[in-house]
Amino acid sequence: MRGALIRYCVVGTSGYLVNSALFWTLGHLVAYTVAFAAAFVAAATSNFVLNRLWTFASDDCAVGAQYLRFVIVSAAALIVDLVVLTTLVEGVGVPKLPAAAAAILMATPASFVGNRLWTFGRTRIPSPRISSGGQTLGKHRLVLTRRAA
């Protein structure tokens, strides 16, 4: 689990960079909460791809269902993010970009657990198929032997 958490944080860092760049850019054009939500969606999408391929090495072929679970976990994290962001900016007076970073840090632990257990926890590992001669089937090798009577 420790390796997955480290990879998750590396992916999260790349998502943070995507999020921050878009938040800063869009923040000049629309309300900061709208800018943050749009940036969050873009970062979450890139994080899904990287987490699927690298962090959790998922080979689940139901990508659409897996992405839907990821979006649900991300939406829950977004709610936490927006509550923390709004509280820090409007209630405490923290500048918007540092407040966005703090909001992301606050939501990350729950997001990791949700994605590990639910989004990517349903990964199906292919079952080995019986073959003669101990042939290699993908990542699996199955050798059948007979016991002497």
pLDDT in tens, 75-106: 898 899 899 999 999 999 999 989 988 998 89
pTM over 0.75: no
**What is the rounded CA–CA span in Å between residue 10 and residue 103?**
17
The answer to whether residue 146 is domain-embedded is no
pLDDT of residue 86: 95
**What is the rounded CA–CA span in Å between residue 67 and residue 133?**
39
pLDDT above 70 (res 29):
yes
- Domain extent, residue 44, equals 2-141
pLDDT above 90 (res 10):
yes
The answer to whether residue 147 is domain-embedded is no
Question: How many structural domains are present in the chain?
Answer: 1
For the stretch 53-69, pLDDT in tens is 888 887 777 888 888 99
C-alpha distances (whole Å) from 5 to each of 2, 38, 56 are: 5, 25, 10
